[in-house]
Structure 1
Amino acid sequence: MEKYSLRSQLFSCATLAALGLVIIHFAHPQPLAQVLLAGMPWLDQLALGAALGLAIGLVSAVSSLRQPSAEAVQRTTASYARLDLSGWNPAWISLGAGISEELLFRAALQPLIGIWGASLLFLLAHARAYEFHRIDRAALLQASGVLGMALAFGLGFEYIGLLAMMVAHTIIDIVGLLIVRRLAARQGR
C-alpha cells in the first residue's frame, strides 16, 4: 500500500489555510489581524488549548488502546495508517491540520455560516477518512464524535480564541496519529 507523503499532506493543509485566508480577506468585515487576534490573551489561549488537547487526547488514547479491536478503532487505524507516520511526521501533519482546519472552519467559515454550518462542513471534510458512507454503528459513533469535536472547537473559538483551538486540535491529532502508528505497527500495516 502506497503511503500518502508528508509533502502531500502539508500541501493539502496549505491549500485549506490559503482558502481560509482568502475567505477572511474577501468575506469578513473585520481585517485579518482582528480575526486572528480575537479572544483571550495568547498565553491564556495556549494554556487552555494545551489543557483541552491533552485531556481529550488522553481520553482518546485510553479508549483506543483499551479496545484496539473495536470496529471504529480498526477503521480509523486502517484509514490513517495510509499516511506516512514515520519519524516526526505525526507532529508535522497534526500541526498543519490544526492550523489550517481551524483557520478555515472556525475563523473563516463559522462567522459566516454559524457554528452548526461550519461543524457540518468539518464533518463532511472528514467523511472519507472515517468511512461515514457505511452508515453502520461504528460510522455513526465516529460521525457523532467528529461532529461533537467540531462543535466543541466552535464554542472554544467563540469563547477562548482561535489559537487555543489550533493548539488543542494539533495536540489531539498528534496523540491520535501516534496511537494509529502504534496500532498499525502491531497489525503489520
Structure 2
Amino acid sequence: MKRVGVGRQLAVCAAMSCLALIVIAFLHKPPYAASLAAGLPLHYQMGIGLGFGCCYWAASQIGYRFAANSESTRSTIESYSRLNLDGWNPLWISLAAGFGEELLFRGALQPLIGIWITSALFVLAHTKAYRFNGLNKRVAIQAAGIFTVSVIFGFVAEYIGLVAAMLIHALTDVVGLYTIKTAARRG
C-alpha cells in the first residue's frame, strides 16, 4: 500500500489556507483581521482549546476501548493508516489540518453560509479520507460523527473564537492520529 506523505498533506492544508484568504479578501467585509480575531481574548481561547483537547483525549481513549472492533473504527484506522504517521508526522498533519481547515470552513465559509451548510461541506471534504463510497451503516455513522464534530467546531468558532476552534481541531486530530498509529502497529 502506497503511503500518503506528510508533504502532500501539508500542501493540501496550505491550499485550503490560500483559498480561505481569497474568499475572505473577495467576499468578506473589512476589517478582515478583526473578523478573524473575534471572540474571547486569546488566552481564554487557548485555555478552552486545551481543555476541550484534554477532554477529547480522555473520551477517545475510553471510546476506543469499547469500540476498537467496530466496523467504523476498523475502517477509520484502515483509512488513516494510509498516511505516513512516522515520527512527528501526526503532529504536523494535525496542526496543518487544524489551521487550514478551520480557516477555510469556519473563518471564510461559515460567516457566509452558516454552520449547518459549512458542516455539510466539511463532511464532503472528508469523503475521500474516510472512503465514503456508497451509503451504508458505516458511512452513515462516520458521516454523522464528522458532521457533529464540525457543528461543534462551528459553535466554538462563533461563540468562543476561531483560534479555539483551530486548537481543538488540531488536538482532536493529534489524539486521533496517534491512536490510529498505535492501533495500526498492534494489528
TM-score by length of 2: 0.96
The answer on whether the counterparts of 1:53 and 1:168 sit within 8 Å (CA) in structure 2 is yes
Tell me the matched-pair count.
187
Q: How does 1:151-162 map onto structure 2 within 5 Å?
A: 151-162=151-162
Percent identity of paired positions between Structure 1 and Structure 2: 43
| Matched residue, 2:100 | 100
- Match of residue 25 from structure 1: 25
2:145 is aligned to 145
User: What is the letter of the counterpart of residue 64 of structure 2?
Assistant: S
Provide the rounded CA distance (Å) in 1 between the counterparts of 2:58 and 2:127.
Answer: 23
What does residue 67 of structure 1 align with? 67
Residue 52 of structure 1 corresponds to which residue in structure 2? Answer: 52
Q: Equivalents in 1 of 2:41, 2:17: separation in Å? A: 23
Question: Are the counterparts in 2 of residues 48 and 164 from structure 1 also a CA contact under 8 Å?
Answer: yes
CA RMSD of aligned residues (A): 1.1
Residue-by-residue CA offset, 1:19-71 (whole Å, 9 max, x unaligned): 00111111101322112211000000000111112212321232123322110
Matches within 5 A, 1:33-48: 33-48=33-48
How far, CA to CA, are the matches of 2:6 and 2:141 in structure 1?
28
In the alignment, structure 2 segments of 5+ residues that lack a partner are: none
- SS of the counterpart of 1:132? coil
- Using the TM superposition, give the Cα deviation of residue 117 of structure 1 relative to its aligned residue in structure 2, in angstroms: 1.1
Structure 2: which amino acid aligns with 1:60?
S
Hey, what's the Cα distance between the residues in 2 that align with 1:56 and 1:135? 28
CA distance in 2 between counterparts of 1:131 and 1:50 reads 30
Q: Which runs of 5+ in 1 are unaligned?
A: none
**CA offsets 1:90-141 (integer angstroms, 9 cap, x no match):** 0000000000000000000001111111111001001122223232222111
Give distance in 1, aligned partners of 2:68 and 2:2: 23
1:135 has 2:135 as partner = yes
Report the counterpart of residue 185 of structure 1 in structure 2.
185
Runs of 4+ in 1 over 4 A off after TM superposition: none
Which residue of structure 1 aligns with residue 125 of structure 2?
Answer: 125
Match of 1:6 in 2: 6
Query: Which residue of 2 is the match for residue 173 of structure 1?
Result: 173
Match of 1:91 in 2: 91
64-73 or 14-23, larger mean C-alpha shift:
64-73
